[in-house]
Amino acid sequence: MFKTIMWAITVVLFGLFAFDAMAGTHLLAHGPEGVLAASVAAALPEAISAELKRIGAEAKEKVEDLTKAFTDFKAEHDQQLEEVKKGNADALQALKVDRINSNIDRLQHAVDDANTRLAALQMGVGAVGCGPATDPEYSAAFRANFRKGEVQAALNKGAADEGGYLAPVEWDRTITDRLVILSDMRQLATVQRVSGAGLTKLFNMGGTASGWVGETAPRPATATGTFASLGFGWGEIYANPAATQQILDDAEIDLESWLAGEVEAEFAKQEGAAFFAGDGVNKPFGILTYVTGGANAAKHPFGAIKAVNSGAAAAITADGIIDLIYDLPSAFTANAKFTMNRKTQGTVRKLKDGEGNYLWQPSYVAGQPATLAGFPVQEVAATPDVAANAIAALFGDFKQTYTVYDRVGVRVLRDPYTNKPYVQFYTTKRVGGGVHNPEPMRALKIAE
């Protein structure tokens, strides 16, 4: 019984459970003995609550450390600037500023990581709308397929038109939910599920005319508006994790969660690169390719994502950031945010406005992002570094700009033959994406 309890707590801490929001009860995957005791299940919410409190306290502590580090950074950087004005460039002072700057990066990342873990745990808890409630019969059939390759009738609940064991809906939703946490663009953009093989959208280009007439004057025909179409890049993303048959037979693990973890990490990595820089060849069109001068600058009927110069040939200036913000129409600023990589954040952290105030401010509330000139900043590793003619940052409303298209169904095939003694789980998903409206977005180009 003690072994069962320890196994259950371990599962909880890694979020390997589902929550029935309607009934308000926790339904756990089967343990080593197959059924979790009711007394253990009743204790699980307390363990979850304790873990949430622990991570929350950790996030609060990191926020306090971050606030202190940024205060130190401003003082030391101001001192460095004063010495430079006097013509006394101090290498040790510059090194001290860089070290504090790096420490701020580390602390900000720790805050973000704690918030991500909170979100993951809360998703596991299953707030309404977050994650599916499991079907015990379906889950048992799915595990039987993983372990022995058995195809049971319960598997066909998943997708009647394709065979549930090929495109299992419950597991598909689990993967998709977890990808929202790991994939930058899935957090930022609009995500839409589609069932067709591809997608083409129509755009109203305007052109409808009108005129003023007298009471009895003739009404000649007026010009009619026109439409333009736009297709989106599609591709198939795959992962192929493997395990020996003995491990599948003997391991006291949740196989669905193990496989989901293997797949989600690989999918998130591949998607992250494609959604930002994908060329559309067997993959989505990346948002950076739609920027003026990019490969898809002429693709959208509304034109390219406009680029705003940074104000220096190889650097970012405060004026460049302000120009970027005010170049975006006010209709799109309510939900606008910056995206840049961590290295670029270290650069903009040193920028001040005309009154000597730092444009970058750390997060003072757990769960809230750092800000740049009052707008949220999200770290995206796929964004290029600061370099001449590079697009070092994006600013705008991502949900109105970019759409991720998910072809319904994550397919999984169990393959015990190709690579004996390993059983491979060949998993695929059709994913598309592209800019559906370039107007709510601006790009910061490193140029004078």
Rounded to the nearest integer, the mean pLDDT of the chain is 76
Confidence of residue 305 (pLDDT cuts 50, 70, 90): very high
DSSP letters spanning 358-421? BSEE---STT---EETTEEEEE-TTSPPS-TT-EEEEEE-HHHHEEEEEES--EEEEESSTTTT
Mean pLDDT calculated for residue range 209-224: 84
How far from the centroid of its chain's Cα atoms is residue 432's Cα? Answer: 15
18-22, 279-283, 328-332: which has the minimum mean pLDDT?
18-22
**pLDDT of residue 10 exceeding 60:** no
pLDDT at 341: 93
Residue 366's pLDDT band (cuts 50, 70, 90): low
Classified as helix, coil or strand, 216 is coil
User: Span 425-431, mean pLDDT?
Assistant: 86
pLDDT digits (tens, 9 = 90+) for 64-82: 888 888 888 888 888 888 8
Report the pLDDT averaged over residues 342-369. 86
Name the CA radius of gyration of the chain, rounded: 26
The strand pair at 375-379 and 337-340 is best described as parallel
Residues across the chain: 448
The pLDDT assigned to 176 comes to 67
Confidence of residue 264 (pLDDT cuts 50, 70, 90): confident
Residue 293: which residues within 8 A CB-CB, separation 6 or more? Answer: 304, 307
Q: Identify the pLDDT of residue 373.
A: 94
Q: Which of 27-36, 69-78, 88-97, 414-423 has the lowest mean pLDDT?
A: 27-36
**Range scoring the smallest mean pLDDT among 135-139, 145-149, 206-210, 272-276:** 135-139
Whether pLDDT at 18 is above 50: no
C-alpha closest to that of 340 among 354, 329, 326, 351: 351
Of residues 358 and 175, more confidence is placed in: 358
Residue whose tokens read 């065979």: 163
Determine which of 92-106, 152-166, 196-210, 419-433 has the lowest per-residue pLDDT on average.
152-166
Q: How confident is the model at residue 443 (pLDDT cuts 50, 70, 90)?
A: very high
* pLDDT, average across residues 118-145: 55
For residue range 153-202, what is the model confidence (pLDDT) as tens digits? 545 554 544 445 555 555 666 666 667 667 788 889 998 887 766 666 66
Q: Are 433 and 275 in contact (CB under 8 A)?
A: yes
Task: With a cut of 60, say whether residue 40 has pLDDT above it.
Answer: no
Residue with more model confidence, 185 or 407:
185
Tokens coding 347: 């650069």
- Cα–Cα dist 198/227, whole Å: 19
Confidence of residue 297 (pLDDT cuts 50, 70, 90): very high
- Pick 283 or 232 by higher pLDDT: 283
How far apart (Å, rounded) are the C-alpha atoms in residues 297 and 87? Answer: 45
- More confident position, 10 or 348: 348
Please, which residues bridge with residue 306 across strands? 442
pLDDT at 9: 36
Q: Pick from 10-24, 69-83, 133-147 the range whose average pLDDT is largest.
A: 69-83
Q: Beta partners for 191?
A: 404
Alpha helix ranges (H) inside 193-341: 245-250, 255-277, 318-327
Percentage above 70 pLDDT, the chain: 67
Structure tokens at 330: 């006010």
pLDDT at res. 64: 82
